[in-house]
């Protein structure tokens, strides 16, 4: 299992469009991805759950990658977050 933190830089946070892109990216990976904020953890493939975290600009999320090719999946998630959020 791999875990890393990321601070959201997008001024709108994780809203509908990037949440959909994040879910799509997570679905394409062979690892299970979870996102946690303020003690609440959701599966990264679940669009409505992601939006329910109410992640805003400046918030720090914890991303956990487990199973499958963890290193490749972790890199993909980091790259996605850097490019989009």
Catalytic residues: 15
Three-state DSSP at 7 gives strand
Q: What is the distance, to the nearest Å, from the Cα of residue 4 to the centroid of all Cα atoms in its chain?
A: 10
What spatial distance separates the first Cα and last Cα of the chain, rounded to whole Å?
23
Task: Round to whole Å and give the CA distance between 39 and 80.
Answer: 23
Task: Round to whole Å and give the CA distance between 47 and 53.
Answer: 10
């Amino acid at each position: 299992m791999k875990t890393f933190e990321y601070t959201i830089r997008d001024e709108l946070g994780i809203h509908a469009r990037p949440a959909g892109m994040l879910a799509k990216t997570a679905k394409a990976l062979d690892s299970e991805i979870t996102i946690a904020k303020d003690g609440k953890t959701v599966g990264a493939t679940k669009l409505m759950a992601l939006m329910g975290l109410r992640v805003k600009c400046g918030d720090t999320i914890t991303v956990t990658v487990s199973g499958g090719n963890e290193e490749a999946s972790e890199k993909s998630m980091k790259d996605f977050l850097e490019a989009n959020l």
